[in-house]
Amino acid sequence: MFRTKHLYLILFLLVVATSCQKQRWEIAAFSTSQIAIDSTTDAIACQEFIAFLQPFKEELAQRMSAVIGQSAQTMRASRPESLLSNFGADMLRAEAENRLNIPIDIGIMNVGGLRTEIPQGDITVGNIYELMPFENELVVLWLRGDKLGELFHSIASVGGEGISGVRMRIENGRAVNPTINGEPLDLERIYTIATSDFLAEGNDRMTQLAEREKIEIVGIRIRELFLEHIKNETAKGNKINSQLDRRIYESN
């Protein structure tokens, strides 16, 4: 009897001890399947939910199709310079000056941030949302000339970006003879730059922007800036336009 009770006690202690141990789970097997999100999914879609969304869909489509201006030509983004990247950089610089009432030396817009083109003819709200789908905001930062020179080399290493107020040549992936508003780069001077908060944090290989002296948040999303700028130009009777002026070019 004693041995039986002793055995039960040992078994009980073993159960308690093992139950306190951390369980370790491992995946024994898995499988995946691909579900196409296109017109073929309509057959299995919830019709009640579709009916619920329809008024919102129609309202959104109406807003996105609203025409806010006219473009004199199709503008696309490319390197080393392009109609669209020149237009964007010039706009950032001009709008930052208007809002802060201070001189802005340079405007910078990354080519990768311009997600589509501005078509010739009607410009709709939807065009601008497709062009600028991000929530990036306009900022102005102050950067020393030596850091700005390094930034120009970074821009040259990827073949160019949207710049305003700057002229420079790209040779072997390096910036050659950069000038700011017609004057040679001064390594000791502090320059003002209008750009996005995304780039201001050193993203897209523009790490030098994060080494700024100071920064000011203007308080407007760049997408909204595009919309307002185009509406204002339209109110003045102007079409949106741009030009290539060899502000940044590669050696032949």
Q: What is the pLDDT of residues 205-233, one digit of tens each?
A: 999 999 999 999 999 999 999 999 999 99
Instruction: Indicate whether 155 belongs to any domain.
Output: yes
Tell me the angle at which helices 83-100 and 222-235 cross, rounded to the nearest 10 degrees: 90
Secondary structure letter of residue 33 according to DSSP:
-
The residue that leads in pLDDT, 16 or 178, is 178
Residues contacting 177, CB < 8 A, separation 6+: 168, 169, 184
Is 209 within a domain? yes
What CATH number does residue 197 fall under? 3.90.780.10
Is residue 16, in this structure, part of any structural domain at all?
Answer: no
Q: Is residue 248 within 8 Å of residue 175, measured between CB atoms?
A: no
pLDDT, one tens digit per residue, over 59-103 is 999 999 999 999 999 999 999 999 999 999 999 999 999 999 999
Instruction: Tell me the residue ranges of DSSP E strands in 73-165.
Output: 106-109, 121-124, 137-144, 162-164
Residues 108 and 247 sit within 8 Å (Cβ to Cβ)? no
Least confident of 16-20, 71-75, 241-245: 16-20
Decide if 91 is inside a domain.
yes
Residue range of the domain that includes 122: 63-243
Residue 4's identity, in one-letter code, is T
In a domain, 52, yes or no: no
> Does 38 map to a domain?
no
Q: Residue 122 above 50 pLDDT?
A: yes
How far is the CA of 56 from the CAs of 17, 50, 182, in angstroms? 59, 10, 51
Residue 196 has pLDDT above 70, yes or no: yes
Residues sharing a CB contact under 8 Å with residue 113, sequence separation 6 or more, in sequence order: 132, 134, 136, 196, 198, 204
| Count of structural domains, the chain | 1
Task: Please indicate, yes or no, if residue 94 is contained in any of the structural domains.
Answer: yes
User: Does 153 reside within a domain?
Assistant: yes
Region of 149 (left: φ > 0; alpha: ψ -120 to 50; beta: rest) is alpha
Chain centroid to CA 26: how far? 40
Q: Which residue is listed with tokens 């009432």?
A: 101
Amino acid at 28: A
Nearest to 165 by CA among 245, 229, 247: 247
Structure tokens that stand for 193 in this block:
């730059």
